[in-house]
């Protein structure tokens, strides 16, 4: 965007009409006492141009100025404004038929159109600087996608770490639990001492002795000895196995070893 584009393009002016803050960066704008708008004489003083130059601009761009807050008070509106100013500030306006007033947006709009006013040129320069700064901020601002990723990634990392910690604790518990080994695969050294001529009870015999099923929840009952040489019975293998209470297994093994040959 350039200064000439601002002067020649109404759409560009409309896009910048909210930047009334640049007026105060150039110089102070005098307004009517207690009001937020200025008269044509005050606006002419701000831009340091003849009143006739402003009248010419209004003639060519009146609709645009009106959309930005340019108004003409007359009749009862003028009477109310004149009496209010006289009551509030003892100001003798001398207005008889009408008076034109300018909101700050309309004043800025005029500054984007006056070609030869040094003050208007300064206003346009500040507008270009403000827009350039705004554009830089928007270009450097994180996108909604990057903000979303930045928010989600730490959460995902936290979940992954929690799962890793859980698995580590589970593995530690697994290592501390005596390993279940089926009878036919258990080394003799782990099956404990047994009387000569006696055999190890089978899973079917243990199930019958304890009056429990050989298949539970779709898992077969297996018997064996742990690393400590103690007998165990459990349904299934791995982490999903269901253990038969040790006290019951010990009781069954003692009872069955005493009777089997």
**For residue 223, pLDDT beyond 60:** yes
Instruction: Name the band, by pLDDT with cuts 50, 70 and 90, for residue 94.
Output: confident
Higher pLDDT among residues 225 and 32, named by residue: 32
| Alpha-helix runs per DSSP H in 9-117 | 10-16, 21-26, 40-47, 51-67, 75-89, 104-111
Closest CA to 253 of 217, 219, 229, 220: 229
Eight-state DSSP code of residue 185: G
What is the rounded CA–CA span in Å between residue 232 and residue 259?
Answer: 19
Residue 161 C-beta-side C-alpha neighbours within 13 Å: 6
Least confident of 14-23, 31-40, 141-150: 141-150
Cβ(26)–Cβ(126) under 8 Å? Answer: yes
Element counts in the chain: helices (H) and strands (E):
11, 7
Higher pLDDT among residues 254 and 168, named by residue: 254
Eight-state DSSP code of residue 91: -
β-pair partners for 70: 102
- Residues 108-139 have pLDDT tens digits of 999 999 998 999 999 999 999 988 877 665 55
């Amino acid at each position: 965007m350039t200064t000439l584009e601002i002067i020649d393009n109404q759409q560009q002016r409309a896009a910048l009409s909210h930047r009334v803050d640049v007026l105060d960066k150039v110089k102070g704008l005098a307004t009517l006492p207690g009001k937020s708008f200025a008269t044509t004489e005050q606006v002419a003083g701000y831009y340091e141009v003849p009143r006739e130059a402003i009248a010419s601009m209004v003639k060519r761009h009146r609709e645009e100025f009106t959309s930005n807050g340019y108004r003409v008070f007359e009749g009862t509106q003028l009477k109310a404004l004149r009496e209010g100013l006289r009551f509030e500030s003892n100001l003798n306006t001398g207005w008889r038929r009408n008076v034109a007033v300018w909101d700050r947006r309309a004043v800025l709009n005029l500054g984007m159109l006056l070609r030869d006013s040094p003050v208007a040129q300064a206003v346009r320069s500040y507008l270009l600087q403000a827009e350039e700064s705004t554009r830089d901020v928007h270009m450097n601002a994180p996108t909604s996608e990057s903000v979303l990723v930045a928010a989600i990634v730490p959460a995902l990392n936290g979940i992954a770490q929690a799962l890793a910690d859980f698995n580590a604790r589970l593995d530690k518990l697994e290592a501390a639990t005596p390993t279940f080994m089926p009878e036919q695969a258990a080394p003799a050294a782990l099956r404990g001492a047994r009387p000569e001529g006696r055999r190890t009870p089978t899973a079917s015999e243990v199930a019958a002795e304890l009056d429990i099923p050989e298949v539970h929840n779709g898992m077969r009952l297996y018997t064996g000895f742990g690393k400590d040489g103690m007998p165990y019975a459990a349904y299934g293998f791995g982490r999903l196995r269901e253990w038969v209470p040790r006290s019951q297994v010990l009781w069954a093994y003692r009872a069955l070893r005493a009777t089997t040959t």
